[in-house]
Amino acid sequence: MLLEFNGLARRFGGLSAIDNVCGHVAKGELVGLIGPNGAGKTTLFNLITGFVPPSSGSVRLNGRDITGWAPHKIARLGVARTFQNLRIFPNMTVFDNTSVAATGVIGQGLFETIFGSGARARLISERSWQALEQVGLQHLADQLAANLSYGQRKYLEIARALAMAPQLLILDEPAAGLNDTETAELAACIRRLHGEGLSVMLVEHDMNLVMSVCQRIIVLASGKKIADGSPNEVRGDAAVLESYLGTEWA
């Protein structure tokens, strides 16, 4: 199993943002994570990626316990993520944005000792170009990120994650703020990345997108997991319909 999380809980004072949540992502799987606002979706992502330590429970990657590890160490093991609030560098070029991300996971000391600084620079450049090509931004490599449209900035955020050469790509509301055409194009991009063998975990409120691209969906409500199954199983689950989807999805 690529990713496993068991009994995860996170309490902020008297509030349980995540309460005894278990789940997994298999290698090559595309899993959605949905639920109403305040369900704990982003908190779960933060627990998996090390941005927030769990109050209890465990996270394992390829069987290795990474519970409570720092985000940069988890990223170097192959978990990359995007954020709801874009974290690009507007005054840097598109290419330099992806290069910074690649640099963060290609360590200096030992790598340069074995392969030399030139090899490290070439690998950073190769990863950066590949990431931009994967999202269709290579023709804008020399543009300042500040000059990109909002939709293009969304793709740059994804490219920065891809430049880390992840095993697991975690997308936090990538379609937020996009129009219908842009969302359809994003869905095609996600399918393409998944088709290349990348494992993906996706938080998204656009149910048409989730239902069309995900193989399996985990549903949270009030910090608890209430369902885990195929899109058809989830859309037919009474608890999910009541807490989130509504009768139009039945």
The full set of domains in the chain, from first to last, is 1-78+166-250 (3.40.50.300), 86-165 (no CATH)
How do beta strands 56-61 and 64-65 pair?
antiparallel
**Residue position matching structure tokens 């330099």:** 96
**17-70 pLDDT, tens per residue?**
999 999 999 999 999 999 998 899 999 999 999 999 999 999 999 999 999 999
pLDDT given at position 247: 43
C-alpha to C-alpha distance for 247 and 250, rounded to whole angstroms: 5
**Which residues of the chain fall short of a pLDDT of 50?**
109-110, 113-115, 247-250
In terms of Cα–Cα distance, which of 159, 28, 154 is closest to 98?
159
The pTM is what? 0.89
C-alpha to C-alpha distance for 149 and 13, rounded to whole angstroms: 40
- Please name every residue paired with 201 in a beta bridge, in sequence order, or none if there are none: 31, 170
